[in-house]
Amino acid sequence: MARDMVPVLKRCRSLGLDPIYLGIDKKSYRKSIRGNKKKSEYGLQLTEKQKAKFIYGVLERPFRNYFKKASKMKGITGDNLMVLLEMRLDNVMFRLGYGRTRKESRQIVGHKHISVNGNTVTIPSYKVKVGDMIEIREKFKGSQRYQDILEVTGGRLVPEWLEADHDNLTGTVKEIPAREQIDVPVNETLIVELYSK
């Protein structure tokens, strides 16, 4: 299985991205103090695509597939792309506060800790739907791991399109998120322009 092995903070610096969007609160993080080189139009488009891929932990081929799917859906392609990425199970786990980072949420899903509507799901890219109930499986609910995670993520705001019950370690997808509800610093219009060439 392919994995992105680039150090996270180094990648954040190169993309000009604050690590807080990845769920990382690093006090040692320093923004790059190199001079700002003027980027070409293509360079700006590529940077936005790399940002989106990096934030959601998606590699090139799956990302391209998401774009193709988004372009076939009704509505604005860029908004559809962001919604598809946001509705991934590993991202929903992160948004509910059951993972400190998206990478940890991905690992939790892969280790069979999650059930969706009562069925165990081990695919991080599984697309959740409105009305889906996501929960930590019963045998893992008493685990110290989730108490530690909730200590860190307890103050994190759960988006309006999700409903979390931290006492029972469950969550529900109430609606499909609108683009305004997705607080990711990505200009999806540039990504659409890049793929439309």
Question: What is the per-residue pLDDT across 75-122, written as a single tens digit (0 to 9) for each?
Answer: 999 999 999 999 999 999 999 999 999 999 999 999 999 999 999 999
Structure tokens at 167: 């006492």
The CATH number fitting domain 88-173, selected from 3.10.290.10, 2.40.240.10, 3.20.20.370, 1.20.210.10: 3.10.290.10
> Helix 60-72 vs helix 77-86: angle between axes, to the nearest 10 degrees?
130
Q: Distance (Å, rounded) from C-alpha 105 to C-alpha 126?
A: 13
Residues 6+ apart with CB under 8 A from 32: 13, 14, 16
pLDDT-derived band at 31 (thresholds 50, 70, 90) equals: low
Answer yes or no: are the C-beta atoms of 194 and 45 closer than 8 Å.
Answer: yes
**Three-state SS for 169?**
coil
Structure tokens at 27: 């006090």
| Domain map (residue ranges) of the chain | 8-29+39-80+184-195, 88-173
88-173 shares the fold of 8-29+39-80+184-195: no
Does the structure show a pLDDT above 70 at 33?
no
Does the structure show a pLDDT above 90 at 24?
no
Question: pTM value?
Answer: 0.84
Smallest CA-to-CA distance from 85 within 21, 25, 41, 170 is with 21
pLDDT-derived band at 14 (thresholds 50, 70, 90) equals: confident
Q: Which segment of 17-21, 45-49, 118-122, 170-174 scores lowest on mean pLDDT?
A: 17-21
**Three-state SS for 38?**
coil
Write down the CATH number for the domain with range 8-29+39-80+184-195.
1.10.1050.10
- Determine the residue type at 131: G
pLDDT-derived band at 154 (thresholds 50, 70, 90) equals: confident
> Helix 60-72 vs helix 41-56: angle between axes, to the nearest 10 degrees?
100
**What DSSP assignment string belongs to 84-146?**
HHHTBHHHHHHHHTSSSSHHHHHHHHHTT-EEETTEE---TTPBP-TT-EEEE-GGGTT-HHH
Answer yes or no: are the C-beta atoms of 114 and 93 closer than 8 Å.
Answer: yes
Q: Which residue has 């200009």 as its token pair?
A: 187
